[in-house]
Every structure is written in C-alpha cells, then in structure tokens.
Amino acid sequence: MPVDPDTQKMLDAIEAAGAPPIFDGTDPVASREAYLVAARAAEQGLDGIATEDRTLAGTDLGARVYTPAERSPGTVVFFHGGGWVVGDLDSHDRFCARIARDTGATVVSVDYRLAPEHPFPTPYEDCWAALLAVAADVESFGGGKIAVAGDSAGGNLAAAIAQRARDEQQELAAALLLYPAVDLEGDYLSKTQNATGYRLTKSDMDAFERAYAGSADRTDPRMSPLYGDPSGLCPTIVAVAGYDPLRDEGTAYAEVLEKAGVDVTLRAYPDFIHGFFGMAWMSPACDAAAAELTADLAKYLR
C-alpha cells in the first residue's frame, strides 16, 4: 500500500527543501529550535480550548492545562514526543488541544526535562512526579478518571508510567500510546524497511536512543516497557504506522499485552508515517485516524 497521498506531498516538500535530520546527535539545542519551527508551521488552532501554564505542586515541572469549552469528567496526563531530546509544550499544542476537544477531558501536558542534558531516568522520574502531582489534586484539573497518553518517546514514557502506576496502586483509566518506542534494545524489520524516506529515520532513532539511554541497561523496563511485566495493566490503546521505523516494536507490545489478558486495542494504519496524529491538519485520512483514537480513549474516561 502506498503512503497516504497527502502525507506523500509533505514528504516530497521536505525532500525538496533539503531538510536536515531531526537529530544527528551533535547539537540538541539547534535540533530543538528546528523541531519547534516545523511544528509551529503546521499549527492549526482549535476553537473552544482554554489553556493555562502552571507549575505542578510539589515539583519544579511546568505543565500546560487544556480545558475544553464542552467539558466532561476526566483528566489526561500527556507526555510529548521528540526522542526524549526535542519537543516541548509548544511543539505539541495541537496534539493536546485535539485530545481535549475530542474527549471533553482536561489535558495536562508535562514539560519534563530532556536528554542528553538529563538522560534516563530523569525524564521518566519527571513524568512519574507529574502524574502523582495531578492525581493528588485532580479536582483542580479535570477531575474524574485519569489516563496517560503520549506520542513516540512520550508513548514510551506513558507505557513505562502505566507499569509503575499498576505497581504503586495509582489507578489509571487507560493509556494511549501513539506510535511508541518501547524497546531500545531490540532490532526490528520495520527499522530496516523504513530506515529512510519517511521523515523519522533509523539514524534519528539511533541518535535519540544514545542520548537518552547513555550507558544504562536498555532492557530496563523503565526505559524499554516491552521487557516489563504486562499483567494487570490498565486498558491500553496502541497506534502504529506502516511506514514507521517503530512499527514492529509497537505491534509487539500490543501482542504481549493481549497475551497477558490486558484490554488492549491495536490500531494499525498501513499507509501512514510516524507522527501522523499531528498531521490531521493536512490529511483527511490522518484526521479520521486521530478521531478514531481519541474516541477509543474517551470510552475509558466515561
């Protein structure tokens, strides 16, 4: 199946412009600036979403709170993608606004610290502290049930935090994992098949993983959730894209959860690339997929 035509137009434009790698391991600050510029160029505002920047109580962590005009009970703690190296609250505005609008829940986007300045386990620990801070004062956010969500590296963090939440009896309604990185140790066919040509490259991922993992054990479940105990996890929605280096590890994680009896939904989109949730503004097909995934999440927040 060919790449979604609207997505292919974007890929062609990126190639024609000679866009540099997302991250080559040499200059994280410049990579962050370029990533944010690209994200802002694609911004499409959503009406009816109020935002507020806050510092989470008991932490030094910033967060942006998205509250929809038509609000339903429920709070989603969101961890942004960007390979643990790039990305921030601004780069993922449209992700969080979309989740808030579609689900009616309040979304709390977490400004966790980034590698390589703050490698594993700092981003993981920041995300856990953020979840606890939200849970301790959930009524000042969106109230209701709590879910976690994230894309790419944020999906990695959401999956790892869901495992810790189970272990420490912090109830979660669900986890939404958008094309997550869940295995920093393993090798997969999709990394070879989709190594180049689809924006996120294998080289990008290798550089991201080196920056985040450092010398730590890459099979540590806090870093690679695929190696963790899947039993008793909260309901989990996993989205994978056909032209994504991370496709196969996301699929493998969903299969492991299913075998363990977890309520898991695997949404596979064979003609999409990594990052498709944020491409809804330019692709009707990506927009429909985003709506399907937010509907999946909303079901568990009710």
DSSP for 40-98?
Answer: HHT----TTEEEEEEEPTTSS-EEEEEEESS--S-EEEEE--STTTS--TTTTHHHHHH
Does the N-terminal peptide bond of residue 245 adopt cis geometry, omega within 30 degrees of 0?
no
The SS3 of residue 164 is: helix
DSSP β-ladder status, 236-243 and 146-151: unpaired
Q: Supply the pLDDT for residue 44.
A: 63
152 is catalytic: yes
**Residue 138's domain spans which residues?**
5-301
Strands (E), 152-233: 174-178
Catalytic residue among 4, 88, 244, 248: 244
What is the rounded distance in angstroms from the CA atom of residue 149 to the CA atom of residue 127? 11
| Phi, psi values for residue 156, rounded to 5° | -60, -50
**CB contact at 8 A, 88 and 32:** yes
Q: Supply the pLDDT for residue 45.
A: 65
Task: Indicate the DSSP class of residue 187.
Answer: -
Strands (E), the chain: 49-55, 62-68, 75-79, 106-111, 146-151, 174-178, 236-243, 264-273
For each of the chain's 302 residues, which pLDDT tens digit applies?
A: 899 999 999 999 999 999 999 999 999 999 999 999 999 876 666 778 999 999 999 999 999 999 999 999 999 999 999 999 999 999 999 999 999 999 999 999 999 999 999 999 999 999 999 999 999 999 999 899 999 999 999 999 999 999 999 999 999 999 999 999 999 999 999 999 999 999 999 999 999 999 999 999 999 999 999 999 999 999 999 999 999 999 999 999 999 999 999 999 999 999 999 999 999 999 999 999 999 999 999 999 99
Per-residue tokens: 268: 């596979």
What is the rounded distance in angstroms from the CA atom of residue 167 to the CA atom of residue 300? 20
pTM summary value? 0.98
The SS3 of residue 240 is: strand
Count of the separate structural domains present in the chain = 1
90 is catalytic: no
CATH number at residue 233: 3.40.50.1820
Q: Supply the pLDDT for residue 154.
A: 99
Per-residue tokens: 282: 């330019």
Catalytic residue among 88, 126, 183, 274: 274
Catalytic residue among 109, 152, 190, 224: 152
**Residues 6+ positions from 189 with CB-CB distance below 8 Å:** 248
Q: Supply the pLDDT for residue 75.
A: 98
What is the rounded distance in angstroms from the CA atom of residue 37 to the CA atom of residue 29? 13
Tally of CB atoms within 10 A around 44: 12
